């Protein structure tokens, strides 16, 4: 007997309609820098809780804020600019990535012009801690990074997976191996990525 295929499900809690815009993902990873950065972006842009992701593949935990229980993997949305962010209070296991990606593509990112993935990357030196660099899948997105004053990555080992159906930017945030050292990413840079 075959095992059932594990899935990730999106449950909206608002009927907010998001126009064509930008999806930003910053899941916990190296140094937690991406998770901290996407939280700052969510707060700077005044995004509201739009829904949550659920799966048996995720760790069986819950989180809370200000004394209130909340789902650990949440989606936030805003209309000016049209932005959706994905946040998680827990590190998601690699076994969930395929189902998570499928859910994101089919249920959340269908109307978005681009996706921005925030990635914590080990800094090669103390002077690189907090630096940001961008990688793009198209020449047009590369131009948007330059217009937003985000330096382009020059190291050949910083890669982003290219998918023809999804125009993607990866913003690599230099961090120390053991704790986060993120610089604040101004919301004007994210707005600039959307507007250019």
The residues pairing with 86 across neighbouring beta strands, listed in sequence order, are 25, 75
Selected residue with higher pLDDT from 129 and 41: 41
Name the CA radius of gyration of the chain, rounded: 16
Give the CA diameter of the chain.
55
Given a contact cutoff of 8 angstroms between Cβ atoms, the answer to whether 79 and 50 are in contact is no
Taking only the tens place, the pLDDT of each residue in 99-156 is 998 998 888 877 788 888 888 877 777 887 778 888 888 899 999 899 999 988 876 5
Query: Judging by DSSP bridges, how do beta strands 22-25 and 114-122 pair with one another?
Result: parallel
Instruction: Tell whether the model's pLDDT for residue 162 goes beyond 50.
Output: no
Taking only the tens place, the pLDDT of each residue in 87-99 is 999 999 999 999 9
User: What is the model's pTM?
Assistant: 0.78
Given a contact cutoff of 8 angstroms between Cβ atoms, the answer to whether 134 and 80 are in contact is no
Please report the pLDDT score of residue 186 as a whole number: 47
For the residues 35-40, what does the mean pLDDT come to? 90
Please report the pLDDT score of residue 88 as a whole number: 93
Please report the pLDDT score of residue 177 as a whole number: 60
Taking only the tens place, the pLDDT of each residue in 177-196 is 654 444 444 444 455 555 55
For the residues 146-173, what does the mean pLDDT come to? 70
3-state secondary structure of 186: coil
What is the residue-averaged pLDDT of the chain?
80
Which helix (DSSP H) or strand (DSSP E) does residue 22 occupy?
strand 22-25
């Amino acid at each position: 007997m075959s095992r059932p295929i594990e899935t990730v499900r999106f449950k909206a809690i608002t009927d907010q309609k998001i126009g064509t815009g930008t999806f930003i993902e910053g899941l916990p990873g190296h140094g937690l820098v991406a998770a901290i950065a996407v939280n700052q972006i969510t707060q700077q842009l005044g995004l509201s809780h739009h829904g949550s992701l659920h799966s048996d593949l995720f760790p069986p935990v819950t989180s809370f804020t200000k004394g209130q229980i909340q789902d650990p993997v949440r989606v936030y949305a805003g209309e000016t600019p049209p932005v959706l962010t994905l946040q998680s209070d827990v590190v998601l296991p690699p076994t969930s990535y395929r189902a998570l990606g499928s859910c994101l593509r089919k249920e959340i990112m269908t109307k978005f012009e681009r996706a921005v993935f925030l990635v914590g990357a080990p800094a090669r030196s103390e002077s690189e801690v907090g630096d940001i660099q961008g990688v793009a899948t198209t020449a047009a997105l590369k131009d948007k990074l330059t217009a937003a004053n985000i330096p382009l990555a020059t190291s050949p080992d910083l890669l982003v997976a290219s998918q023809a159906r999804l125009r993607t930017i990866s913003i690599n945030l230099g961090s120390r191996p053991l704790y986060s050292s993120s610089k604040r990413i101004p919301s004007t840079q994210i707005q600039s990525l959307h507007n250019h």
